[in-house]
Chain A
């Protein structure tokens, strides 16, 4: 828009300069029309050429280092050259035997030079500024691209974080079952394969319907309950949230955390309650697990929630989507997923 207008502006400016020039020669100095028009046309054309060459020269300048010094130097140089050519041209074609005009021309050389210099200087600084700006814009763009890549890499890494420990421990359970009860081992192997298969499939998805996510969670819980036996009980409370969707790999680490907190904080049975509700375009998932407030988590257990918080920030640019509360018996994690954003995400794809 601005770029288109600027061409018109420059043409208009050139015409304006021409008009002012004619007016001064004809109206103020009272030369005849022939001289006024000839002088004005030559001067304005040369001025335009000079400005154009400045723009070309500055664009050709390879870096943005010391660009203002360079442009002012170019402006002064072209100013000298232009004034020289202008005077010579005028002497050649306009002067002839017009003595009054000749003396006037000689006297106005400094004024003409200053006018050309002002125009050139103005144009040179503008061009330099623009070049600088485009340089900045490219740099900015590059940085934006880099940060997108970085973000994707980080998201990938955060997703990966949850796998290995769980996988090795599950494989160990299978190995144990193979000696004790081969049927159960086969069953567990099937569950683990289901879990891994859906993990791989989900890797490519931005968001998933809540139903899919819950199926995935169920296959995860099936495995955990084989590992921990009767100690683990999980209750789902789903309130009319079927239309909702959420990014993959958010709920599972929170649940993993709840299980860890519950199982590692207490020795008895662990009841975990997952309550899911859709409230005015916000999917609210509340996970409650028992815990012992006297037990501080040992080191190494914190990554779960920190990783989730980081992912939520990268996905939604918000820091208020994950909350935790605790009283002397229960630890509650509240996860909120904005549905509008999720919706528009799916539309885009």
Chain B
């Protein structure tokens, strides 16, 4: 018996997949969720084999939800996305169903997944999540904090520090760890606002209070929150070009 969770904000869309799954006796729908938060909780609780996931959803969207899950289950995306985004899906061999969902296409997806499930291989969805599928920049970062989901608005960030495989996001309410790289998070945030001043530091320009010379060619940036951040030579050049010095 395979466990399946349906995550979509439109009740009708969930009902449709439920009906389409009717003939598959080896499948049990263990939960239906209307947003990413509920989806996250349900996945933690049930540890499903497969999820049907909508992307645009209330509170936490599909990608943000996946970012938070350490070993995500197999995913079939259900989306009204455009062609541009679909290329990213294809590139990572991730299955997707375009809305409106057609029965034939649905069955093909199910056959494919059932085959993959029997030979126990499924494509890694994390690679897709790391691709920036949306156009434009993030205005928030989603982190896990003692099992709770926390959404950090970009303007609350004091600075971000690289920490091995993790990044440490320092905010006015404390600091949070997230499994990610500084290079990746840098590409998702607005480059006019966030500057990589050093191999290990990303800072918002609005936090900048003062810059003082340090040894040789490096500088020290003083932030409003009181932190002192090392600024490399190339970081200094980036700051200069953004601030127009």
Contact = CB atoms under 8 A, between A and B. Distances in A.
A177 B12 contact: yes
Interface string A104-141: 00000000000000000000000000000000000000
A180 B100 CA distance: 15
Interface of A: 164-165, 168-169, 171-177, 179-180, 226-229, 263-267, 294-300, 302
B165 interface: no
Given A299-B136, A299-B137, A172 B59 contact: no
The secondary structure that dominates the B interface is: loop
6 contacts: A168-B80, A171-B100, A177-B12, A295-B59, A300-B56, A300-B135
A229 B13 CA distance: 12
Nearest to B34: A267
B19 A180 contact: yes
Interface of B: 9-13, 15-16, 19-20, 34-35, 37-38, 56-59, 61, 64, 80, 82, 98-102, 134-140, 151, 153-154
A296 B58 contact: no
Nearest to A226: B12
Contacts of B16: 172, 175-176, 179-180
A180 B15 contact: yes
A296 B59 contact: no
Given A169-B99, A172-B13, A172-B80, A295 B56 contact: no
A226 B10 CA distance: 9
- What 4 A-B pairs come out closest when comparing CB atoms? A176-B16, A168-B80, A172-B99, A296-B140
B2 to A, nearest CB: 22
Contact of B154 (A173, A226, A265, A296): A296
Nearest to A166: B80
Nearest to A294: B151
B139 A299 contact: yes
A176 B10 CA distance: 11
B151 A176 contact: no
A261 to B, nearest CB: 10
Contacts of B58: 263-267
Given A263-B58, A264-B57, A296-B153, A173 B13 contact: yes
Contacts of B136: 299-300, 302
A253 B202 CA distance: 35
